């Protein structure tokens, strides 16, 4: 038995915890009735389990192939057919505005689909993920003709998109970009340069492929302020969209890499390729951030998704593998040994995984629900508040869910013992595939710097103050006795987060190294506070079900997992607070040559 989409978890979150029904004022939400949601998620599960998951190991084994003569890339067996099936079924356009050919459903429903797709086959799911990012960038900055030409085709997945930032000398520091754009005199530009590690920069699924390329125009200032963003299609389209002449760029090689072998990681060479400016000249980074922010949330999904798939594999293995006896007496007296799930140390690993996955999933869904509010509400104040949450939480979910996602994949492999290290079980692939998520779309270190350097101080700390106030308001609500530990968890996490925030305010401005040295721990403290809040809300929803007489063990298990989180995971917040307060001193003590 392979990966099973966690439809029941999704329905619990959407219907009972986030209460989707109360957002019927937002576009698309009135259509997302509990019945339609359940039906849609069941269908999504069938597609991801039945079509994508069987190709996961195939993609890992075969990888992509490159033809140096033509630059063509062949994806693993079955990928192109699966892509066509996905497009025909309309999965790519689930949450896209009907104006562009989408179904206009809530983004949180799309998130459930994305999680399943990424659990089933992360390498495959990256192709439509980046296409959607290109869609959003053109939606945000494109002129009317660009929108009319590209958006309907990207929305459905008929054409694909890719994101071109990185160059050999330029990773984190985008100010080092050298690719050049020169005016052609006919409204187009000619692009020249090398881009490396471009995910989905070439594939064999779609009749056209739209590269979004950051480049420097003639005379533009050095650094990031001189960057502009260009739309560079593989085939120059006629006004009606018919792909025409082949554009002047090609994939000149593929990267050999640790995981996600089914995703083509391309070296791209632009040799006077025709491009169209997207948005204003020299404002390219601002436009690209639309795509990057979306991609960051997409990478957070990958961390969660790989963790879920790896945890499921570990739980299955632990129920079946017979080794040793339970310390309190045999649990499988007729067998030669007990299943390893009886051992407390195996339980510890499984519970760590489960508590962080379920809490992390709730935090991610809660964040994306705010994105829906920001996009759909007609109330300006509500939109601003929702946007603050999305801005604040984007680096947090990206970094926390991918760091923890990898840790969970490692714990899941550990549960398998030596079998996990072999290719007979999927644990090793999950571990390898998940590792990149901590690196791309801005490394997790860079996410933490973004949090303390930009997101926290923005608008006088408004987003953090609102988050702290929301925790206070939740803790002040009257609650059932059974929820008391959860309310205490929220209160203590809030107090620690507030203390760390004040410390940063008092020390981080005077000494930027202090803020930077504390940023990783501060981000983790904020994430744990977020999980404490989510676990309290999930416990409240589960307790309400139990109080109403629902005997489904799902709800009692939810409470027990939540208590595990409070007792065995949340205490890490104290260590993060202590580390935040050490500042830069211990981190910067050694001279560079001492390393
Ligand atoms: C499989 C794969 C797919 C990718 N897909 C794409 C894609 O589709 N499009 C694209 O444009 N790029 C893509 N990338 C590139 C990816 O986004 C970069 O690898 C990433 O941004 C980091 O850049 P770098 O690897 O050059 O690391 P570097 O920037 O060299 O960083 C090395 C280390 O130093 C740290 N560091 C660097 N600067 C700072 C700083 N100022 N403060 C603190 N720490 C710092 C980093 O956190 C990191 O730990 C991909 C990469 C891979 C491996």
Tell me the pLDDT tens digit for each residue of 285-319. Answer: 998 888 888 899 999 999 999 999 999 999 999 99
CA 303 to centroid of ligand 1, rounded, Å: 17
Tell me the pLDDT tens digit for each residue of 505-552. Answer: 999 988 999 999 999 999 999 999 999 999 999 999 999 999 999 999
Note the pLDDT of residue 584.
Answer: 96
List the catalytic residue out of 115, 158, 441, 567: 441
Note the pLDDT of residue 107.
Answer: 96
CA 402 to centroid of ligand 1, rounded, Å: 15
Of 20, 47, 4, the closest CA to residue 373 belongs to 20
- Choice from 161, 172, 260, 293 to test ligand 1 binding pocket (greatest atom count within 8 A of CB): 172
Q: Is 245 a catalytic residue?
A: no
- Evaluate whether 25 touches 377 at the Cβ level (below 8 Å): yes
Note the pLDDT of residue 239.
Answer: 84
142 falls in which pLDDT band (50, 70, 90)? very high
Cβ of residue 439 lying under 6 Å from some atom of ligand 1: yes
For residue 280, is pLDDT > 70?
yes
Cβ of residue 444 lying under 6 Å from some atom of ligand 1: no
Note the pLDDT of residue 69.
Answer: 96
Token pair in block for residue 446: 């860079």
**Residue 232: which residues within 8 A CB-CB, separation 6 or more?**
164, 191, 210, 211, 212, 213, 247, 249, 270, 273, 274, 275, 276
- Choice from 440, 447, 584, 588 to test ligand 1 binding pocket (greatest atom count within 8 A of CB): 440
Report pTM: 0.98
Cβ of residue 297 lying under 6 Å from some atom of ligand 1: no
CA 268 to centroid of ligand 1, rounded, Å: 17
Cβ of residue 265 lying under 6 Å from some atom of ligand 1: yes
- Choice from 163, 169, 197, 299 to test ligand 1 binding pocket (greatest atom count within 8 A of CB): 197
DSSP 385-424: HHHHHHHHHHHHHHHHHHHHHHHHHHHHHHHTTHHHHSTT
Cβ of residue 292 lying under 6 Å from some atom of ligand 1: no
3-state secondary structure of 259: coil
Would you say the C-alpha torsion 563, 569, 573, 575 has a positive or negative sign?
A: positive
CA 175 to centroid of ligand 1, rounded, Å: 13
Note the pLDDT of residue 398.
Answer: 98
Cβ of residue 267 lying under 6 Å from some atom of ligand 1: no
Mean pLDDT along residues 95-110: 95
Note the pLDDT of residue 263.
Answer: 98
Of 159, 163, 193, the closest CA to residue 176 belongs to 193
Rounded (10°) angle between helices 344-376 and 512-547: 100
Cβ of residue 172 lying under 6 Å from some atom of ligand 1: yes
Note the pLDDT of residue 1.
Answer: 54
Q: Which spans in 144-199 are helix H?
A: 144-156
CA distances from 340 to 121, 268, 326, 344, 418 (A): 28, 49, 8, 9, 14
**CA-proximal residue: ligand 1, atom 14 (nearest):** 197
Note the pLDDT of residue 509.
Answer: 86
Cβ of residue 103 lying under 6 Å from some atom of ligand 1: no
- Evaluate whether 126 touches 173 at the Cβ level (below 8 Å): no
CA 165 to centroid of ligand 1, rounded, Å: 10
Note the pLDDT of residue 288.
Answer: 86
Note the pLDDT of residue 245.
Answer: 97
Which ligand 1 atom is at minimum distance from the Cα of 445?
47
For residue 423, is pLDDT > 90?
yes
Mean pLDDT of the chain: 97
Cβ of residue 198 lying under 6 Å from some atom of ligand 1: yes
59 falls in which pLDDT band (50, 70, 90)? very high
Residue 505, CB half-sphere, CA atoms under 13 Å: how many?
Answer: 13
Cβ of residue 434 lying under 6 Å from some atom of ligand 1: no
CA 198 to centroid of ligand 1, rounded, Å: 12
Cβ of residue 440 lying under 6 Å from some atom of ligand 1: yes
123 falls in which pLDDT band (50, 70, 90)? very high
CA distances from 73 to 115, 135, 241, 251, 262 (A): 26, 23, 23, 8, 11
Tell me the pLDDT tens digit for each residue of 365-382. Answer: 999 999 999 999 999 999
Cβ of residue 302 lying under 6 Å from some atom of ligand 1: no
Which ligand 1 atom is at minimum distance from the Cα of 164?
11
Note the pLDDT of residue 495.
Answer: 98
CA 172 to centroid of ligand 1, rounded, Å: 5
- Choice from 212, 443, 446, 519 to test ligand 1 binding pocket (greatest atom count within 8 A of CB): 443
Which ligand 1 atom is at minimum distance from the Cα of 163?
9
Note the pLDDT of residue 388.
Answer: 97
CA distances from 241 to 305, 354, 480, 497 (A): 35, 47, 60, 52
**CA-proximal residue: ligand 1, atom 27 (nearest):** 171
């Amino acid at each position: 038995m392979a990966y099973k989409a966690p439809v029941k978890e999704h329905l619990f979150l959407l219907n009972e915890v986030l209460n989707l029904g109360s957002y019927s004022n937002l576009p698309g939400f009135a259509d997302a009735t509990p019945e339609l949601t359940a039906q849609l998620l069941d269908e999504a599960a069938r597609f991801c389990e039945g079509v994508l998951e069987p190709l996961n190991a195939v993609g890992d084994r075969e990888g992509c192939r490159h033809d140096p003569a033509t630059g063509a890339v062949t994806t693993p067996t079955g990928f192109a057919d699966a892509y066509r099936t996905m497009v025909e079924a309309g999965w790519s356009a689930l949450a896209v505005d009907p104006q562009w050919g989408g179904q206009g459903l809530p983004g949180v429903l799309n998130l459930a689909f994305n999680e399943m797709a990424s659990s089933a086959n992360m390498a495959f799911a990256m192709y439509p993920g980046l296409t959607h990012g290109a869609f959003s960038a053109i939606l945000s900055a494109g002129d009317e003709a660009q929108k009319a030409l590209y958006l309907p085709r990207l929305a459905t997945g008929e054409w694909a998109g890719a994101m071109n930032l990185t160059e050999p000398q330029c990773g984190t520091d985008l100010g080092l970009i050298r690719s050049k754009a020169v005016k052609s005199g006919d409204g187009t530009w000619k692009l020249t340069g090398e881009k490396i590690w471009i995910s989905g920069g070439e594939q064999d699924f779609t009749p056209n492929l739209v590269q979004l390329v950051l480049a420097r125009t003639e005379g533009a200032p050095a650094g990031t302020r001189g960057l502009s963003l260009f739309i560079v299609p593989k085939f120059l389209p006629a006004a009606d969209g018919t792909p025409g002449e082949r554009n002047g760029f090609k994939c000149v090689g593929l990267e050999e890499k640790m995981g996600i072998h089914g995703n083509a990681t391309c070296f791209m060479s632009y040799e006077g390729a025709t491009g169209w400016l997207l948005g204003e000249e020299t404002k390219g980074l601002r436009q690209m951030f639309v795509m990057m922010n979306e991609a960051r949330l997409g990478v957070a999904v990958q961390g969660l998704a790989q963790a879920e798939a790896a945890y499921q594999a570990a739980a299955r293995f632990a129920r079946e593998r017979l080794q040793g006896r339970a310390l309190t007496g045999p649990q499988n007296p007729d067998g030669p040994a007990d299943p390893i799930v009886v051992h407390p140390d195996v339980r510890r690993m499984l519970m760590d995984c489960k508590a962080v996955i379920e809490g992390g999933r709730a935090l991610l869904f809660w964040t994306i629900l705010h994105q829906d509010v920001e996009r759909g509400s007609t109330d300006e104040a509500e939109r601003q508040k929702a946007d603050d949450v999305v801005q604040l939480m984007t680096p947090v979910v990206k970094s926390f869910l991918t760091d923890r996602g990898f840790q969970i994949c490692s714990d899941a492999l550990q549960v398998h013992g030596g079998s996990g290290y072999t290719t007979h079980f999927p644990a090793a692939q999950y571990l390898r595939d998940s590792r990149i998520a901590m690196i791309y779309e801005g490394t997790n270190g860079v996410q933490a710097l973004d949090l303390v350097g930009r997101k926290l101080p923005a608008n006088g700390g408004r987003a953090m103050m609102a988050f702290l106030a929301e925790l206070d308001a939740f803790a002040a609500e009257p609650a059932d006795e059974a929820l008391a530990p959860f309310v205490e968890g929220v209160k203590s996490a809030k107090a620690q987060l507030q203390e760390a925030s004040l410390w940063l305010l008092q020390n981080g401005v005077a000494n930027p190294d202090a803020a930077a040295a504390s940023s990783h721990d501060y981000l983790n403290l904020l994430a744990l506070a977020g999980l404490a809040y989510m676990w309290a809300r999930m416990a409240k929803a589960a307790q309400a079900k139990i109080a109403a007489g629902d005997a489904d063990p799902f709800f009692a298990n939810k409470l027990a997992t939540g208590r595990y989180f409070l007792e065995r995971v949340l205490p890490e917040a104290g260590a993060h607070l202590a580390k935040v307060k050490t500042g830069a001193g211990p981190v910067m003590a050694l001279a560079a040559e001492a390393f």
